[in-house]
């Protein structure tokens, strides 16, 4: 399985569009891996996770044709994860020869209502709207998504939005995708143990950066990533071969790519950047 991190930034991007803090100014100066767009991932070439406003730019940058992708997992409708305006162009005169007539958005309760509310002021062609399907997911629900088995887990994040994390499996490889989330609950970790998972890759929220452990329960920081890696290995949910990735960095709690890498030195946790590919 290939996981491509299309965007590795936190909620406002890094540098943040309107921000002149030291971290953003340094990121603009340094460029390269220190420039982080809004968070999105692509599994192989056929499963997208989240749909931020940077989706169109990601498709241009990485040569992705969304007309060839049927399935989308949405973690939660914060604006950096679900800003679906460009879906008004999925069909009619705007998109020809779609590989799949219908696209499916798997996500938490309330997603379809939010989609319709966001789109309402702009309007949408009736056929385009009819070809966008929603599959409601809730905690510990598993769905077959073409070649993948996808299990939703209640995220430690924005509970009023029913935020979800996902276990994505192709029958050989298991990925634990913890964006956005604070440190996973004991109940979820116990559940994953009961299911007998051994993860090949764990993608971890690092939004709180260098904040002290426990400062905010709805995102993780660098130290919580390190603790989580150790706990997953101790519980047998991961092993020496497991690839751990930290991502979703914000300008408020982190600096340039090189400085973030320095903090993770010796942990074998990979610091994500836009366009990074992980083979598992």
Binding site for Zn ion (CB under 5 A): 11, 16, 19, 21, 24, 78, 80, 180, 251
Relative to beta strand 2-7, strand 164-169 is unpaired
Give the residue carrying structure tokens 């020869």.
97
Q: In the structure encoding, which two tokens stand for residue 203, read together? A: 């993608």
Distance between CA atoms of residues 255 and 182, nearest Å: 20
CB of 16 or CB of 208, closer to Zn ion: 16
CB of 90 or CB of 251, closer to Zn ion: 251
Distance between CA atoms of residues 53 and 55, nearest Å: 5
CB of 55 or CB of 169, closer to Zn ion: 55
CB of 80 or CB of 200, closer to Zn ion: 80
CB of 24 or CB of 66, closer to Zn ion: 24
Q: In what order do the strands lie in the sheet with 276-279?
A: 132-137, 103-108, 71-73, 47-49, 40-43, 2-7, 276-279
Q: How far is the CB of 111 from Zn ion (least distance, A)?
A: 14
Q: How far is the CB of 21 from Zn ion (least distance, A)?
A: 3
CB of 54 or CB of 180, closer to Zn ion: 180
Q: How far is the CB of 12 from Zn ion (least distance, A)?
A: 8
Distance between CA atoms of residues 138 and 221, nearest Å: 26
Q: Mapping DSSP to helix (H, G, I), strand (E, B) and coil, where does residue 280 land?
A: coil
Q: How far is the CB of 227 from Zn ion (least distance, A)?
A: 21
Distance between CA atoms of residues 92 and 179, nearest Å: 33
Q: How far is the CB of 280 from Zn ion (least distance, A)?
A: 23
CB of 9 or CB of 91, closer to Zn ion: 9
For residue 58, say if its preceding peptide bond is cis, omega within 30 degrees of 0.
no
Q: Mapping DSSP to helix (H, G, I), strand (E, B) and coil, where does residue 176 land?
A: strand
For residue 180, say if its preceding peptide bond is cis, omega within 30 degrees of 0.
yes
Asked if 227 and 183 count as a contact pair (C-beta separation under 8 A), the reply is yes
Q: How far is the CB of 161 from Zn ion (least distance, A)?
A: 8
Q: How far is the CB of 206 from Zn ion (least distance, A)?
A: 11
Q: How far is the CB of 90 from Zn ion (least distance, A)?
A: 23
Nearest to 275 by CA among 13, 14, 10, 36: 36
CB of 11 or CB of 209, closer to Zn ion: 11
Asked if 60 and 8 count as a contact pair (C-beta separation under 8 A), the reply is no
Asked if 76 and 108 count as a contact pair (C-beta separation under 8 A), the reply is yes
């Amino acid at each position: 399985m290939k996981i491509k991190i299309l965007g590795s930034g936190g909620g406002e991007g890094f540098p943040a569009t309107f921000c002149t803090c030291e971290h953003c100014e340094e990121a603009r100066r340094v460029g390269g891996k220190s420039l982080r767009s809004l968070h999105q991932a692509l599994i192989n070439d056929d499963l997208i996770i989240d749909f931020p406003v940077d989706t169109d730019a990601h498709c241009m940058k990485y040569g992705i044709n969304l007309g060839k992708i049927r399935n989308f997992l949405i973690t939660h409708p914060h604006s950096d994860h679900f800003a679906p305006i460009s879906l008004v162009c999925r069909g009619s005169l705007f998109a020809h020869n779609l590989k799949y007539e219908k696209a499916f958005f798997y996500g938490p309760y309330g997603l379809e209502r939010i989609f319709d509310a966001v789109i309402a002021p702009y309007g949408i062609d009736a056929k385009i709207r009819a070809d966008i399907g929603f599959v409601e997911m809730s905690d510990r629900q598993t769905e077959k998504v073409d070649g993948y088995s996808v299990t939703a887990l209640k995220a430690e994040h924005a509970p009023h939005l029913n935020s979800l994390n996902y276990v994505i499996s192709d029958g050989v490889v298991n990925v634990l995708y913890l964006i956005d989330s604070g440190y996973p609950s004991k109940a979820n970790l116990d559940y994953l143990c009961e299911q007998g998972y051994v993860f090949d890759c764990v993608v971890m929220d690092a939004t709180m950066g260098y904040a002290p452990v426990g400062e905010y329960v709805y995102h993780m920081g660098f130290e919580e990533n390190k603790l989580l890696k150790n706990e997953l290995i101790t519980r047998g949910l991961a092993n020496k071969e497991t690839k751990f990735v930290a991502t979703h960095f914000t300008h408020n709690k982190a600096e340039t790519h090189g400085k973030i890498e320095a903090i993770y030195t010796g942990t074998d946790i990979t610091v994500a950047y836009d366009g990074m590919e992980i083979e598992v």
